[in-house]
Structures are given as structure tokens and as C-alpha cells.
Amino acid sequence: MAEHLFLTGSTGFIGSRLLTLWLERTEAQVTLLIRNRAGITAESQLQRLLTTYPEEARNDLAKRVRFVHGDLAVPHLGLGPDDFEGIADTVTHIVHAGAELRFDLSLAQARRTNTDGTATVLDLARRCSHLERFDYMGTAYVAGRGSGIVREDARHDGIEHNNTYERSKYEAELLVREAMAELPATILRPSIVTCDLKTGYAPSTSAFYRLLRAVASGALEVLPGRADIMLDLVSVDYIVEAAFVIGRRSDLVGHGYHLSAGVDNRISLGELRDLACASFGRESLDILLPEKFTLWSAAVCSAAPEKCGFLDELALYVPYLSNNPIFDNANTRRALTATDVRPVSVMDYFDRVAAYVLDTLPETDTHGGKSHRTPSTGFGKRKFLS
């Protein structure tokens, strides 16, 4: 049976790069689930995903790709019966990377895409008569407010979660674990995604990017969290390379895999703060413990209501800057033993993401012959982690 990949989340930071690897390293036909967006056609979205290729190569790759308009948040993915069954008749691989990443949704809203959507993709998988693999892109933060070492195959039952994103993804992961009895499934758990290693690019919705931008612009006056907390930060390159390798091996089904930095590549919040301040010409930034940050934020918001939106978003990230478990990645390390795929410390590529952040700040102003960036919060109404 010829390889046929069904991919959700192909327009996202991780999904778009997974699409690239599948097109470059396999001969598979690819079907993308793409959501209708006002004024943006699926064809134009596909061309954007392939924009880094020369025109001739782009056209050749596009011949292997088809798309169906749909939505994880609606029954049957919004597909008609013919499309749904037609996909099931020929698909050999499913990579479910689509998700709603917002932290500020109600639990019912988050569940519609993350939990119910996963249930529907699993239903599709069960109908696939030639299915060889189902890879689910989850999150290491199904561990919620747990502490200590988090194992890759742990269920995390009874753990309290920090937001509806974590909770809905936890519930989705339980569905995948239950389906492992009948499907060749794996669970991939990225930690905090940083940027593209080569260019430093990070999407504007990424918390990592937004925090750095706020430091660079001068909008961030203090940082919430604990200076000694160890952060698990990974490049998108490592995530997709590891996911691709794991997804191509039939002997690795039935397990979870942390796509994480590993103990040796973590960085403390204090070290990250110092790197950012040095890169952006800032004096050292105070780090306030969560309780003090809450009091400080309330006082600032009361005095300057226009800053409330910025501070509300910043508060969403407090759990990740003050309590981070250790994500054991023994399964992943074993899976990658015979490859050169390894996580890289953020210290080794911070200069690239810092340069990208500076390039994306607003136009420079000149005062007294000295050029500097116009301060901007970089924070809007949407609230995302990655």
C-alpha cells in the first residue's frame, strides 16, 4: 500500500515543519485538514507552507498534497461522508498535530477542539483499513501542577492543571492511551517550544517570543516566577526531527515520548533573564515571586488600566516560570540512539532568536543621534503559550 499521510495542524509552527519533512524524506501522498479562514483559500495556505522552495520544486511537491476543508471542533471534522470514508480507505499514517493553544478559553471551548477533536480523529483512525501509525502531538504539560520527575508513560491521574489547555490535552491523551489497545499509536509530548534554530524565527503567538519581545522593547518591568526554576526549552527543529524518526519506526508504538530538553540542557529563569538583558541592552530585570507579582500587578493595573491586558497575559505564564517538573526522556533517548538528533541548549542559539526579536520590533526612532526601538508590549488580546 502506498504511503498516505493525513495531517492535522499543518499551518501551525510544529505541523508545518512536519509537513516539510514528510514531503522531503518520503514519497507519501499527503492530505491536510485545513480550516476555512475568511478571505484565505486553502490553496494560498498551502503555497505559504511551501514558500521556501523554488517555484518548480514547490509545484512538484504540491502535486503530492491535497487538502480538505474541515475543523477539529465540529462533528466528523466538518467533512462530508464521502471525504471522511475516502480518507479512511487509503490513509496509512495519521499525525494529529492540530490543537487550540489558548489558555484563556472555557473548558468547554478547549474541549471542543482538543478533546472532542482528538476523539473524532481517533474514530477516523479506527476506520482506516490500512493504518500503520497514529502519532498524537500532545504536551509535556499534561503533568499540570505535578512536581519532581515526570515519566513519559505516566497517566497523571488526579493532577490539578493550570489552565483549560492543559486539562483538555490531558483528557485527549487519555483517549489516545485507551486507543493503544487497538491502534498503533504513540504520544509525543513537547515541552516549551522556542524557535527555528537557523533563523531564530518564532511565531508571534509564542509565549517565548512574546516575553522576549516585551524585554527587548522595555515594556516588561518585572518578571514573575523564581530565578532558580529550571526551564525546559526546545527548538522546533528538535521536536519535528524527533517526531519524524519516532513516527517511522513500527517498534516504538504504544508509548509516550517527551520531546524535551533533557536535564543537561535546561536553563534557569535567572540565566534566561540575564541572557535577554545582555542581548537587548537592558539592566537586570527583577524577578518577583508569584505572590509579590500578583500584588505588584494589581497596583499597576489600578494606576494604569491600559496595562491590564498585558499583565493578565503575563499572569498566564506564572505557573511555567515558578514550578517546572523534570521531564524524563528515557524513551526518546533510546529511540534516537542511532541518529544524530539531539536537543540543543537555548544558550547555544539564543543570539539568533534575539536577533529575530529585534528585527520584528516596531520602526526605530532617533533621538539625539541614537537609534532605539519604539517601546511596545508585543502583547495583544490573544493569549498563547506556543
Residue 8 is part of a domain; what is its CATH number?
Answer: 3.40.50.720
Domain assignment of residue 258, yes or no = yes
pLDDT, position 39: 61
How many Å separate Cα 378 from the centre of its chain? 19
Domain assignment of residue 128, yes or no = yes
Domain assignment of residue 20, yes or no = yes
Going by C-alpha positions, the residue among 153, 332, 335 that lies closest to residue 232 is: 332
Domain assignment of residue 168, yes or no = yes
Domain assignment of residue 292, yes or no = no
Q: Which residues contact 206 (CB under 8 A, 6 or more apart)?
A: 13, 193, 194, 195, 384, 385, 386
User: By CB neighbour count within 10 A (0-12 exposed, 13-18 middle, 19+ buried), where does 58 fall?
Assistant: middle
Q: Rounded to an integer, what distance in angstroms lies between the CA atom of residue 18 and that of residue 30?
A: 11
User: Which backbone phi and psi does 328 adopt, to 5 degrees?
Assistant: -60, 135
For residue 196 the three cell numbers come to 527555528
- Whether residue 144 contacts residue 156, with contact meaning beta carbons closer than 8 Å, is answered with yes
Domain assignment of residue 15, yes or no = yes
Domain assignment of residue 22, yes or no = yes
Domain assignment of residue 213, yes or no = no
Q: How many domains would you assign to the chain?
A: 1
Q: What single letter denotes the amino acid at residue 10?
A: S
Angle of helix 55-62 relative to helix 42-49, nearest 10 degrees, comes to: 130
CA distances in angstroms from 216 to 25, 140, 382, listed in the order given: 38, 28, 20
CA distances in angstroms from 134 to 85, 126, 179, 373, listed in the order given: 17, 10, 10, 46
Given the C-alpha cell 512574546, which residue does it identify?
210
Structure confidence by residue, pLDDT tens digits, 220-266: 999 999 999 999 999 999 999 999 999 999 999 999 999 999 998 99
CB atoms within 10 A of CB 234: 26
Q: Rounded to an integer, what distance in angstroms lies between the CA atom of residue 162 and that of residue 239?
A: 23
- Whether residue 117 contacts residue 175, with contact meaning beta carbons closer than 8 Å, is answered with no
pLDDT, position 363: 65
Q: Which residues contact 193 (CB under 8 A, 6 or more apart)?
A: 13, 14, 202, 206, 208, 234, 235, 236, 239, 386
Structure confidence by residue, pLDDT tens digits, 289-328: 999 999 999 999 999 999 999 999 999 999 999 998 999 9
pLDDT, position 367: 33
Q: Rounded to an integer, what distance in angstroms lies between the CA atom of residue 179 and that of residue 186?
A: 10
Beta strands at 93-96 and 65-69: parallel, antiparallel or unpaired: unpaired
Which structural domain range is residue 258 located in?
4-194+232-264
Q: What single letter denotes the amino acid at residue 307?
A: K
CA distances in angstroms from 263 to 105, 148, 150, 156, listed in the order given: 32, 12, 12, 20
The segments of the chain whose pLDDT lies below 70 read 38-42, 363-386
